[in-house]
Copies of this chain bind each other. A is one copy, B any other.
Amino acid sequence: MKAGADIAADMESTGGRQDTKEVILDAAEKLFAEKTYSAVSLRELTQAAGVNLAAVNYHFGSKDALLIALFRRGAIELNRARARLLREAEERAGGGTPPVREIVAALVLPAIRYSFTSTRLALYNQFVAFARGDGPAEAREMLDKEVGHLQRFALSLARALPHLPQHEVYWRLHFAMGVQHSLYTDMKRLETLSGGLCQLDDLDAVAARVIDYVTAGLEAPYTAKG
């Protein structure tokens, strides 16, 4: 009876225990980040999760649907945290415009914090990089819809940087996302490059570094282009 699959797909809290689904999601998050969606087989995945091979298809419907569910879980938490920090910064500014540095902090801190402390969001950002172009079309569309959440930051930054044309704000926000991605995709290169000097141990220090760098880039003098 596969009624469970459809029900569980629609509503998050069925009567049955939720353990298996989460165990699978956690294992998938780890493996998809280490390798690639299509490089990880369901046999490898279910074995790492300690569940039966058929469990993925039973609980999610397909491997593709698992990827989508995985992304949804991570995106919801990350965007919720970012939105909360941005709202708090705006309240602190008393209805005015928060300084660039605080907007940047709202964007950067959740990604760093959650990615290394929470088991649920661990490696989420690294996974996003792989999902693009690899996963099913539906997953890619979800990534694009994520843009809506970034729009809030674009607007806030545009108010804080009134001398910049709109498109320049978008470009610099885009670069800021690239800096964040570098924390999850190429750390090995940095460790090699620095001879082990640079590592992801002190998260607060790393966060401060990223915020300094991104803030400076956003506040860079504007020289008209093209």
Contacts and interface: CB of A to CB of B under 8 A. Distances in A.
Contact of A36 (B134, B183, B192, B208): B134
Interface string A162-198: 0000111011111101111111011011101110011
Q: How many copies of the chain does the oligomer comprise?
A: 2
Contacts of A132: 185-186, 188
A225 B205 contact: yes
A225 B210 contact: no
A170 B182 contact: no
Given A179-B175, A213-B172, A166 B208 contact: no
A93 B208 CA distance: 33
A161 interface: no
Interface residues of A, number: 64
A42 interface: no
A43 B129 CA distance: 25
A215 interface: yes
A36 B34 contact: no
A212 interface: yes
